[in-house]
Every structure is written in structure tokens, then in C-alpha cells.
Amino acid sequence: MSEDRFPGWHGTTILAVRRAGRVVVAGDGQVSVGQTVMKGTARKVRRLSPGGHDVVVGFAGSTADAFTLLERLEKKLEAAPGQLARACVELAKDWRMDKYLRNLEAMLIVTDGKDIFVVTGAGDVLEPEHDVAAIGSGGNYALAAARGLMEGDLDAEAVARKAMAIAADICVYTNGNLTVEVLG
């Protein structure tokens, strides 16, 4: 994704942590355009309930593009209730193959409380190793912090909150205003 085409790509941190039967998805609230903070309280983690099955999605990238993908994912989940992997694969296939969708600039973390997937426009549907996944400009900082914290006795939410705080201290495109959703 070209910085010339999409200068706001540095935009967020989304982290998912699975531990002891719970999955926590946390996202910061900063919206940056270039080097300017436009908003500090955005919600980039959403709960969907298609067919009565709770799914939590966190997104990094363009908000409009992410909402387009969320709508598509919700339709895929309605068509395949309770089959998160299938819905994510179908979304990734559409995203990669569709002439309109392939230009969307976003990434998603999707969980139903059992499985966690990172879904990209390159057609990837990735299951994280070590029960931790992260995306966005501060994603690598949050991922490293969470993996280190998983060696201790903290619960999933505490790991997510501490790792996000570490990422916010390091990444200028990430702040400490969190949206946190818990499943399980």
C-alpha cells in the first residue's frame, strides 16, 4: 500500500489475546492523518451479532473501507451462522478478487471467542500463534508486549491492556484511549 496513495496508513493498534477461555480485543482511539491527530476517541473495535452469534472485529486502516468490509463480513456470517472460518475465507476471497473491494485499505482481526483470525486484502486468513494477534502501526509493539506478558499470571484483559499501554508509549500513531471487547 503506497504512502502516496494513502498517507494515513499509520493509524492504529488492534490487539487480540486469548487466555483461559476468554478472548479480548482492544483497540486504541487515535485517528491520524499524516502527522496530525484528528481524533483521539474513535471506536475501532465492534461487536457484531449476526444470527445471535457474537463476533468481535477490530480494524486498522481506512474507516470507510473497514465499514464496507464489516458489512460484507456480517452478510457472510449470516449466510454461514457459527462458521467464522468459512465466513472469513469467503470475505478474503471476495476482497482479493472483486474489482471494487481489492482497492480497500484495511486489515481486520476477527474472533468469535473461540477462534481468532487476521484477514487481509491479499487474501490472507491467518490464525495467530501463541494466542495473540495484532495489526496496525503499533501492532508489532503490542504483539511483542503481549507475548512477553503471556508468560505471567495476568488474565487476557490485563495482558491486552498492559500491552496496549506499552504500544501507546512507543508508537506515535497509537493512544491510550481503549475500546475493549471480551468474549468467553
Q: Which positions are annotated as active-site residues?
A: 12
Annotated binding site for Na(+): 168, 171, 174
Annotated binding site: 168, 171, 174
* Cα 74–Cα 124–Cα 161 angle in degrees, nearest 5: 70
What whole-number distance in Å separates Cα of residue 175 and Cα of residue 39? Answer: 10
Are the C-beta atoms of 128 and 142 separated by less than 8 Å? no
Tell me, letter by letter, the H, E, C secondary structure of the chain.
Answer: CCCCCCCCCCCCEEEEEEECCEEEEEECCCEEECCEEEECCCCCEEEECHHHCCEEEEEEECHHHHHHHHHHHHHHHHHCCCCHHHHHHHHHHHHHHCCCHHHCCEEEEEECCCCEEEEECCCCEECCCCCEEEEECCHHHHHHHHHHHCCCCCCHHHHHHHHHHHHHHHCCCCCCCCEEEEEC
